[in-house]
Chains A and B, each alone.
Chain A
């Protein structure tokens, strides 16, 4: 019975899921936007806040950010610019890098993070896919028009991200301060003086000058306040438990709840198993063309991973147990998928597709209450380098928008507010009681 089940599972895995995962892997590979994300962008003075660096999509972070990648991390408020030291960042779930702080003064705050440039080498096909999925359409068009679609790429990329959040009720002008990043969004109004239904103009600066005719994508997630068991809001933060990063890649060390152990692989039959804290744990590998898959069973929950191994480092977390793999493989693409949490096919170009005008300005619609995120990738071809073919600068900006809290726009869903007016209810009740009283008095 188990054999049949395993055969079916294997067949499904290789014939049905694998192509899907591979497609997804390509998409994932090409999509590591960086955002500064917060649970809420409305804080009270002395309320602890967490700035989370989401490296992946706005919904799911896939990588932490190594501290040595950070060129600058700053908090700006009331004209002061504080530098966040590398030691102040912590990693959560090996996927999200966080900085916790408690703003004391009421103001409009700006947070910024700028990363150092890195190189990535991509085959022509992967590069084209990445341009398409990440909306770098001008470069894709250029490659198409000039018959360059078959050319591999070595791209130098750097990411510069900002968030604007409001502490207390005091609105300050810090939102207009330019942090001086190589590429940067600067709003032309305080987002916290804008409300649902308004438009917000944002200027894009490249090396301090307005960047015209640049594609910018703006989207938002609705802020849904539902009380989960963690007793808070949930803002559709999908926590992925995977980490993809470039770096050394070993395959000989795991860590479970702080306990290190190692195991041996037999790579001829592609299978191996081991135990962690008495829990059986089996892996299946296929080390063909740089890909392999894992199957794990943690606390009775089976799930699997498929990998394409390049020069990456990754780690997983299952049921709260930390689990890291280090691999050393050849070059190539590297991605993970987790069957227990099917990935949504995501796009980085959802929402409003905008193009900056001559002054580098886009006008962003704010149709609903939510957390808004803007992203752009400015890419140019490099002709004067033997090492590089392209250079890109990525920028994102996040902020939250809510509706006006006055009587004219108040739309909270509370029955007693919108139902029967109390005075009508009470007046009606008194009249009915009086009428009934008269009737019963006459009867008696």
Chain B
């Protein structure tokens, strides 16, 4: 029975692979969509960017893995959401931007951080781990700044500026909810399996490796001007 659950979880994971790939393809026409598609386009592009922004999803996966009950998940996701809303709306409205590679490099470090913490890295180093809720809020701010930088790379015009930002933000939240549903579902299912500890370790080690990989990738992009 437990094996069956685990297989179901993996099956679901694989089901969402092509979906995410499909969603990403949409971004090639994002600018055109924003130019002609009205406010709905901002919601759609916001959702797409969240669904295809694997750095955001990896961080959320790390957060969910650490939590055992729905209330905690709700609490942490709310803090993360508040954090990214503040910087997404605030930085875009104020026109504050930074190099996308550097912002994404910091986001990559947040993924590395979460994997490291979930694996008990701080305990092994005999260092007290920082308050997780605080860190999730802080990383929420950074992720929001990354989303803001991305939004500002589009030509979004002068009219209904704030409304467009809010629509993009709404899209991000819709995308986040859509992404969280399978993530929470898979992790919840996997917890019931006896191989969960190995799965937990595998995913969190993967977060560490992915964090390092994305960090190096973004720095490479920054120093070599790769876009």
Contact = CB atoms under 8 A, between A and B. Distances in A.
Contacts of A344: none
A419 B24 CA distance: 12
Interface string A410-425: 1011111111111101
B161 interface: yes
Contacts of B159: 47-48
Contact of A422 (B20, B155, B201): B20
A441 B198 contact: yes
Contact of B28 (A44, A410, A427, A432): A410
B54 interface: yes
A226 B36 CA distance: 19
Contacts of B35: 42
A426 B217 contact: no
Contacts of B100: 415
A68 interface: no
B190 to A, nearest CB: 10
A47 B49 CA distance: 27
Contact of A430 (B14, B154, B156): B14
A228 interface: yes
B178 interface: no
Interface in B38-72: 49, 52-54
A423 B21 contact: yes
A415 B92 contact: no
Interface stretch (A116-124, A209-217, A229-237): A229-237
B153 A413 contact: yes
B31 interface: yes
B221 interface: yes
A440 B197 contact: yes
A340 interface: no
Interface of B: 13-14, 17-18, 20-21, 24, 27-32, 35-36, 49, 52-54, 92-95, 97, 100-101, 104, 150, 152-159, 161-162, 195, 197-199, 201-203, 205-206, 209-210, 217, 221, 227
Contacts of B206: 429, 432-433, 436
A40 B97 CA distance: 23
Contact of B20 (A44, A405, A426, A435): A426
Given A44-B36, A232-B157, A419-B221, 5 more contacts: A225-B155, A232-B158, A414-B27, A437-B198, A439-B202
A263 B221 CA distance: 62
Contacts of B20: 422, 426
Contact of A232 (B18, B52, B101, B161): B161
27 contacts: A47-B159, A48-B159, A169-B36, A225-B155, A227-B97, A229-B94, A231-B95, A231-B162, A405-B31, A412-B153, A413-B227, A414-B227, A415-B101, A415-B221, A416-B53, A418-B227, A420-B217, A423-B18, A423-B21, A426-B17, A426-B21, A432-B209, A436-B205, A437-B199, A437-B202, A439-B202, A441-B198
B217 A441 contact: no
A444 B94 CA distance: 52
B28 A440 contact: no
Given A231-B95, A414-B150, A430-B13, A436 B202 contact: yes
A102 to B, nearest CB: 11
A415 B227 contact: yes
Nearest to B155: A225
B94 A441 contact: no
Contacts of A405: 29, 31-32
Contacts of A39: 158
A420 B20 CA distance: 13
A106 B199 CA distance: 57
B54 A425 contact: yes
A430 B97 CA distance: 33
A412 B30 contact: yes
Given A228-B95, A416-B24, A423-B21, A233 B13 contact: no
A65 to B, nearest CB: 24
B48 to A, nearest CB: 9
A386 interface: no
Given A233-B158, A415-B100, A417-B28, A444 B198 contact: yes
Given A232-B157, A414-B27, A415-B221, A422 B195 contact: no
B52 A440 contact: no
Given A415-B227, A426-B20, A430-B17, A436 B201 contact: yes
Contacts of B21: 421-423, 426
Nearest to A423: B21
A108 B205 CA distance: 57
A407 interface: yes
Q: Which 4 A-B pairs have the closest CB atoms?
A: A232-B158, A436-B202, A440-B198, A437-B202
Contacts of B30: 412, 414
Contacts of A412: 30-31, 153-154
Interface in A216-260: 225-233
A415 B54 contact: no
A430 B198 CA distance: 15
A236 to B, nearest CB: 15
B19 to A, nearest CB: 10
A54 B144 CA distance: 40
A423 B27 contact: no
Contacts of B93: 231
A64 to B, nearest CB: 23
B195 A407 contact: no
Interface in A43-82: 44, 47-48
A421 B159 CA distance: 33
A244 B28 CA distance: 48
Contact of B202 (A42, A232, A440): A440
